[in-house]
Structure 1
Amino acid sequence: MRFKRKYKVAPQLNLPTIADLAMLLLVFFLVCGKLGVRSPVLVESPRSITAEPAGGSDRPVIVSVTAEGQYFLDGQNVGVETLRGELEALLSRRQDRASRTVFVEVDKRTEFRDYVVAVDAVNNARGYLELKVVK
């Protein structure tokens, strides 16, 4: 006696159902994650009378170039010839990159050659350049 074979149906994944389930799980975890936010703890930090601010006297160096072609180093008028030497002397005492950063402020009407002179002076003094255009 011969028995008829039953053919097994291969299992299939129903992708829309899996996508719906994944979306529901995502929404669930997003909502639950937002509910668990903690409020910060407010702490009043102590103040020191004798401590100096970080960096000490290493405030940033600012080179300003006016529209008339005048150069100012930390607010003092310097000539084109002395700008490089004074920058080198000022930056030679500073070691880390943050204290060797030089901010170059340029008026928007300044001629390009005056700007290039200031940038060359910063590069020759081994400073790190930051540019600011003043209106």
Structure 2
Amino acid sequence: MRIDLGEDEAPEIGLVALIDCIFFLLMFFMVASSFKTPEKEEKPQKELPVVLPAAQMSLTRAAAAPSPLAIGVDKRGKYYLDGSKVGVQELHDRLKAEAAKNAQRPIRIDGDEDARYQDIVHVLDLCQFEGFTRISMRTRQ
């Protein structure tokens, strides 16, 4: 004799219990693991860790070197020579006079970060036209 128990239901996996088990294992491993903290927090370096060697010859030359002629260019394209505002023609005339005195005098160009590149190149052209070869650009530290 056959007993009818009702409809046959398909077996089902309980997802809630499975998620609870996985969460429990995750919490267990997170608590049981040890997180290693750095002993000394290092700050990021802003410059290269290089100590430059000193040479005796460079120290004696630095004292005898003439001070550089500072040419400034602001963001509007105006020129300054040793701190005083000059026009293009006056800058050219002063560079010509300096080249006649000492063509080996160093030139330092102080350009604003918003200055047009063409204005800086114009100053470089004037310096090279007058024969200056020791030209440098000043940057912010």
| TM-score, structure 1 normalization | 0.51
Residue 117 (structure 1) aligned with residue 122 (structure 2): yes
Residues 71 and 80 in structure 1, CA contact (< 8 A), matched pair in contact too? yes
Runs of 5+ in structure 1 lacking a partner?
Answer: 1-52
1:61 is matched with which residue: 69, 80, 83? 69
Secondary structure of the 1:81 match is: helix
Distance 2:126 2:140 in 1: 20
Query: Counterparts of 2:83 and 2:99 in 1: how far apart (Å)?
Result: 16
Q: CA deviation at 1:91?
A: 2.6
Q: Where is the helix percentage greater, Structure 1 or Structure 2?
A: 2
**Counterpart code for 1:129:** I
What secondary structure does 1:90 align onto? helix
The answer to whether the Cα contact below 8 Å between 2:67 and 2:106 also exists between their aligned partners in 1 is no
Q: Is the 8 A contact 2:71 2:109 kept in 1?
A: yes
Q: Count residues in correspondence.
A: 78
Alignment of 1:33-44 (within 5 A): none
1:93 aligned residue:
101
Distance (Å, rounded) in 1 between the aligned partners of 2:115 and 2:75: 4
Q: Are the aligned partners of 1:65 and 1:71 in contact in 2 as well (CA < 8 Å)?
A: yes
2:64 is paired with a residue whose SS is coil
Relative to the length of structure 2, the TM-score reads 0.49
Report the CA distance between 1:75 and its aligned residue: 1.1
Unpaired runs of 5+ residues, structure 2, are 1-62
Misfit runs of 4+, over 3 Å: none
Identity score, percent: 24
Q: Secondary structure in 1 aligned to 2:138?
A: strand
Which runs of structure 2 are paired with 1:66-81 in the superposition (5 Å)?
Answer: 66-81=74-89
